[in-house]
Amino acid sequence: MRFQLQKYNGRKTRHKCPACQKAFEFTLYVDDQNNPLHHSVGRCNREIKCGYHKTPKQHFTEHPQINFQSAFIKRKTLPKNEKIDFIIPKYVEESLNLNHTNNFIEFLRNNFQPSLINPILFKYQIGTSTRFQGAPIFWQIDILGKIRTGKIIEYNDQGKREGKIRWVHNYINPQENFNLQQCFFGEHLIRKSKNKTVGIVESEKTCLITSAYYPELTWIATGGLSNFKSKDLSVLNGKKVILFPDDGAFEKWNEFKRCLEHKSDVRISDLIESEQPTGKDLADYLLEDLQ
């Protein structure tokens, strides 16, 4: 029987980590019927700050007395659904036409000329949430222009992240059977700029800031340290790609590089890794130049 990390399908598929005790950060290993093996067998998404990862092999090695078939947590089996669900465009359009204060957008406009940053905000379709105090919505639009979801992240007026990450599809499509398959943030731009090198960073914020500094590249974001594993990497086939990992993530992103090498011309930058450990990303260094 084969096991894999459970695919993301809303908060119900993310659990409390047995090591760091953070809620909604633990991904369980499941079988081909989506049955979790054990509440301790999985990986914490906080790979740098926690790093807990127990595999099924380790579990059965530690507990040889456990009957293999009876080891599973009893859980309702979720039906398989290969069809990807999408969000209708009107929600994106409505989020772009709001007059609510958006701390993140104001932060960008305070650091860059409006004539520079406004086209970037439009290009990436940065929306504003009415439900969560004007937080920005980072829409995930795939290479065909279809909307997979929107990531809502609250920021203060200094551009620092606050609160929880939320997902638009949980509010406008609250049914449990919404089948989410995430794509890269900014993926829709790959098709529009066929000959440009693609720069890949982790966070959506960094993606927008690097777009302002280096417009000669098409910038996209994975949305998390290991999120590239859940993406359709075929959108990068035949592309020149440069990876820009955050501080402490260089080795992890080398895995990403290996996944792409047979289809893309890919390089990985050690720009941040070569500095003293600071926990900073590329956006932090670029913004320091503005001070």
Q: Tell me the pairing of strands 4-5 and 136-141.
A: unpaired
In this prediction, residue 101 carries a pLDDT of 83
- Closest residue by Cα to residue 282 from 189, 203, 216, 165: 203
pLDDT in tens, 165-196: 999 998 886 656 778 889 999 999 998 887 89
CB contact set of 194 (below 8 Å; sequence gap of 6+): none
In this prediction, residue 274 carries a pLDDT of 57
Please count the helices (runs of H) and the strands (runs of E) in the chain: 9, 11
Which stretches of the chain score pLDDT less than 50? 69-81
Q: At what angle do helices 204-213 and 103-111 cross, to 10 degrees?
A: 20
In this prediction, residue 230 carries a pLDDT of 72
Instruction: Give me the residue spans of the domains in the chain.
Output: 1-68, 81-183, 184-291
In this prediction, residue 151 carries a pLDDT of 96
CB 282 within 8 A of CB 271: yes
Pick the CATH number of 184-291 from 3.30.70, 3.40.1360, 1.10.3470, 2.40.70: 3.40.1360
CB 32 within 8 A of CB 40: no
In this prediction, residue 66 carries a pLDDT of 59
What pTM does this model have? Answer: 0.72
The separation between CA 193 and the C-alpha centre of its own chain, rounded to angstroms, equals 22
Q: Distance between CA atoms of 198 and 259, rounded to whole angstroms?
A: 16
Residue with tokens 């579990």: 59
The CB-based long-range contact list for 40-46 (8 Å cut-off, 24+ gap) reads 42/5, 42/6, 42/15, 43/5, 44/17, 44/19, 44/20, 45/14, 45/224, 45/225, 45/226, 46/17, 46/20, 46/22
In this prediction, residue 77 carries a pLDDT of 41
